Amino acid sequence: MEMRILGRSGVHVSALCLGTMTFANEADEATSRDIIDRFLDAGGNFIDTADAYQRGGSEEIIGKALEGRRDSIVLATKGRVPMGGDPNQGGASRRHLIRALEDSLRRLRTDHIDLYQVHWPDPHVPLEESLQTLDDMVRSGKVRYAGLSNFLGSDLTRAFLQCERYGWAPIVSHQPQYSLVSREIEHETLSLCAANGCAVLPWSPLGGGILTGKYKGAAALPADTRLGDNEAQAQRRLTEFNLSVATEVTRVAAEIGKSAAQVALNWVLHRRGVTAPIIGARNLTQLDDNLGAQGWQLEPEHVTALERISRQPLPYPQNMYRMFNIPVGP
């Protein structure tokens, strides 16, 4: 598998990152361990999880599965989401993040996390407190690098500037949503991260499964699928626009002899500024399909067709930028 550099860290990570939100949920422990083994056998070395995934269940499975081979893995996790009913069992405060890290270390059976990320912003905590806590974690040796997830471009800018101003551990990565049906980060975040040497690790590159082509509409949901198990989410996500994008992905896939999932992933994989899309799977068949997204590249005419169908009207002021031929996004 192709290796890429994680921001300015100098750490080599596989171009596909294994996401583990399905572990201890759609994928039982045995299947989850098989998925990890297959991913590593394929040359992957980058695994992402979070304490919130099944209240630590995902981390526990990973900790057992990586015993004896931890040193060859770049392991990432996240903290911030509430882990219980106590109001102090969540958030990005120093108090909670330190506790969350210690709990993650225990569940993952390791003495350090390669990439520790604040899962979501916390409006009740000064950004400086969260960033200084990340710096303290790095200085302690329990964390190697710090990252953020789901932050606005304005808050990312503040984070970059504050880390530089105070000499804190830099933010080496950002984890946002990004796919052909969710291209909002192109407005500012992608170029901002590129300018600051910050890796971009997109989650949901298949648009929650929409871009695999298995959904034809909210009225006929296939069984044993994520949207099939959540009618409310299906009604919200299976819009006319999203389904039209999925149809084009399927058309391109048929034309080039690839699966729809491989086409959608390949598009994200080769977007300027993207380091490693996060792939998730509930079984080995899905994983193998996703792994087939790397090692090749879409032709320019296919990229153009996909970007044309998935382009949405720009908000202000980006629409004015485009009107005056000022570059917007990648």
Catalytic positions are 53
Specify the amino acid at residue 53. Answer: Y
Residue 244 near residue 274, CB atoms below 8 Å: no
Distance CA 23, CA 30 (A): 10
- Preceding peptide of 315 cis, ω within 30°: no
Phi-psi region of 329 (alpha: psi -120 to 50; beta: other; left: phi over 0): left
